């Protein structure tokens, strides 16, 4: 049974803060955060690059908080009820369903966008976009990327494509260890294909970072059911869009390409945050699960051929300035191509991890301040490009 909950409902539960969590958070905010700011100012000041000061401080502060804040505090900060969207100038009177929460026994999520013509019949849409958010499996929320996904949906609607966008609200680590998130993803995918009768040729997957890992995991799980002749076989989707996917859950381990790379100061600092998240994510995961799903950059004969696993339209992006992810992503793409899979790979010069989302965050305020129907092509260029790619797939131009 799947229930549609009115806007404002929230069912993940708010993490409980212990006295230790509160003390650790205070130490981080009173000691480590100011030191991070001072370090940023010193580094910038010596070279008189004052125009970069705000960006440097913001980046270093985020890394500091990610490294030292208790996970429960980080997860409370990532809660999102959708009111920012509903109260924005752009969407206050939106003529479509916006951020409508769905709850079932096996999964939860949001219909971020549904055209009124398909409000109760998503299977009639030209496209159903299934989104999986990032955040290292430790943080993040399905509405974090809502403005970007709404931009994509609006771009498709302007081209006369009816669209529905669903974003999964999977349980974060350590509240539920892997592979609970994969089970929830499979449950939501089963609901879309079997209960809502969405034609797999109209079903596209999109996710960033850990969401990209979850997409590949779903595709592997679908293939495993087929290979083992299980009765509950699921159809493969038509396309997958992987934005800086976290293909190796141990990106600093012995099989990581990044271990042989010289890291710049920012990446070296980020490595500590990533290692922290990686340890949490891999804790108590069964060896047989790790073998299939832990490292998609490393061959595993039990997994099968990427040609059989991946959709015929698979797009992968990365940036040259994300060394802790880039080289494993490249190895994954090369491995898939060796298997005969058709993978389109775009490596953006000088761009950081999930750069499309990073740049979009800077533009969200301006985007939400526009009238609905008015657009600025300079806002969220990474997602403008993704919208065009999706249009090309729908219109048979790729």
pLDDT in tens, 80-94: 778 889 999 999 999
22-31, 87-96, 191-200, 288-297: least confident range: 22-31
Could you tell me which of 220, 208, 146, 149 has the C-alpha nearest to residue 182? 220
Answer with the residue of higher pLDDT: 220 or 55. Answer: 220
Q: Which of 71-75, 129-133, 301-305, 356-360 has the lowest mean pLDDT?
A: 71-75
Strand partners, 260: none
pLDDT of residue 62: 72
pLDDT tens digits along 134-173: 999 999 999 999 999 999 999 999 999 999 999 999 999 9
pLDDT at 8: 40
Q: What is the DSSP string of 60-85?
A: HHHHHHHHHS-HHHHHHHT---SHHH
State pLDDT tens for residues 266-286. 788 788 889 999 999 999 999
**Average of pLDDT values for 361-383?**
94
CATH number of 81-394: 3.40.50.1820
Q: 211 or 68: which carries more pLDDT confidence?
A: 211
In the chain, % of residues over pLDDT 70: 89
When pLDDT is averaged across residues 107-116 and rounded to a whole number, the result is: 93
pLDDT for 9 equals 38
Q: How far from chain centre, in Å, is Cα 170?
A: 11
Whole-number mean pLDDT of the chain?
A: 88
pLDDT at 63: 73
Does position 182 have pLDDT exceeding 50, yes or no? yes
Closest CA to 323 of 218, 378, 248, 381: 248
What pLDDT shows up at residue 38? 76
CB 37 within 8 A of CB 60: yes
pLDDT for 67: 78
The band of 128, judged by pLDDT with boundaries at 50, 70 and 90, is very high
**Does residue 26 surpass a pLDDT of 90?**
no
Chain position carrying tokens 């039990």: 302
R_g of the chain computed on alpha carbons: 21
**303-341: pLDDT as tens digits:** 999 999 999 999 999 999 999 999 999 999 999 999 999
Beta bridge pairs of residue 259: none
The 10s digit of each residue's pLDDT in 232-271 is 889 999 999 999 999 999 988 877 777 767 787 778 878 8
Prediction pTM value: 0.91
Go through 112-141 and write b for each residue having 16 or more CB atoms within 10 A of its CB, e for each that does not: bbbbeebeeebebbbbbbbbbbbbbbbbbb
Question: What's the whole-number mean pLDDT along residues 185-200?
Answer: 97
Tokens 């797009």 belong to which residue? 315
Length of the chain: 398
User: Using 50, 70 and 90 to split pLDDT, how confident is the model at 72?
Assistant: confident
Say if residues 323 and 263 touch (Cβ distance below 8 Å): yes
41 pLDDT more than 70? no
In the predicted structure, residue 105 carries a pLDDT above the cut 70: yes
Identify the H or E element spanning 2: strand 2-5
Q: What is the rounded distance in angstroms from the CA atom of residue 99 to the CA atom of residue 231? A: 34
| Confidence at residue 170, expressed as pLDDT on a 0 to 100 scale | 97
In angstroms, the CA 286 to CA 275 distance is 19
State the pLDDT at residue 51. Answer: 47
At 172 the pLDDT is 95
Residue ranges matching CATH 3.40.50.1820 in the chain: 81-394
Give residue 79's pLDDT: 64
The pLDDT of residue 53 is above 70: no
For 188-219, b/e burial (b = at least 16 CB within 10 A) is bbebbbeebebebebbbbbbbbbbbbbbbbbb
- Strand order across the beta sheet in which 239-243 lies: 2-5, 97-104, 108-114, 163-168, 127-132, 203-208, 239-243, 313-319, 343-348
The span from the CA of 151 to the CA of 158, in Å, is: 11
């Amino acid at each position: 049974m799947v229930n549609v909950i009115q806007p404002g409902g929230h069912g993940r539960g708010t993490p409980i803060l212990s006295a230790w969590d509160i003390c650790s958070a205070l130490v981080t905010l009173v000691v480590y955060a100011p030191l991070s700011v001072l370090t940023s100012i010193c580094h910038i000041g010596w070279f008189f690059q004052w125009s970069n000061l705000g960006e440097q401080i913001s980046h270093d502060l985020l890394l500091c908080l990610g490294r030292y804040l208790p996970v429960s505090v980080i997860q409370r900060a990532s809660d999102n009820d959708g009111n920012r969207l509903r109260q924005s100038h752009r969407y206050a009177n939106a003529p479509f369903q916006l951020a409508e929460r769905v709850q079932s026994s096996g999964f939860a999520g949001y219909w971020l966008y549904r055209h009124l013509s398909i409000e109760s019949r998503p299977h009639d849409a030209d496209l159903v976009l299934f989104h999986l958010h990032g955040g290292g499996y430790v943080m993040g929320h399905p509405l974090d990327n809502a403005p970007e996904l709404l931009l994509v949906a609006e771009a498709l609607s302007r081209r006369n494509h009816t669209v529905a966008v669903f974003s999964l609200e999977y349980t974060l680590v350590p509240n539920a260890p892997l592979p609970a998130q994969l089970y929830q993803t499979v449950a939501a995918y089963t609901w879309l294909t079997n209960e809502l009768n969405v034609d797999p040729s109209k079903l596209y997957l999109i996710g960033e970072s850990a969401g990209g890992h979850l997409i590949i995991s779903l595709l592997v799980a679908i293939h495993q059911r087929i290979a083992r002749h299980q009765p509950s076989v699921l159809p493969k989707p038509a396309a997958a869009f992987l934005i800086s996917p976290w293909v190796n859950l141990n990106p600093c381990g012995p099989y990581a390409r990044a271990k042989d790379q010289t890291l710049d100061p920012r990446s070296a600092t980020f490595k500590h945050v990533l290692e922290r998240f990686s340890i949490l994510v891999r804790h108590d995961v069964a060896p047989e699960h790790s073998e299939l799903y832990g490292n998609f950059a490393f061959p595993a004969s039990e997994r099968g051929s990427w040609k059989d696993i991946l959709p015929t339209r698979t797009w992968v992006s990365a940036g040259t300035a994300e060394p802790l992810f880039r080289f494993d992503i490249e190895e994954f793409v090369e491995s898939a191509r060796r298997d005969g899979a058709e993978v389109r790979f775009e490596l953006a010069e000088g761009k950081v991890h999930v750069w499309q989302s990073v740049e979009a965050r800077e533009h969200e305020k301006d985007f939400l301040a526009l009238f609905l129907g008015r657009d600025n092509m300079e806002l969220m260029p990474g997602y403008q490009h993704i919208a065009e790619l999706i249009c090309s797939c729908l219109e048979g131009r790729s």
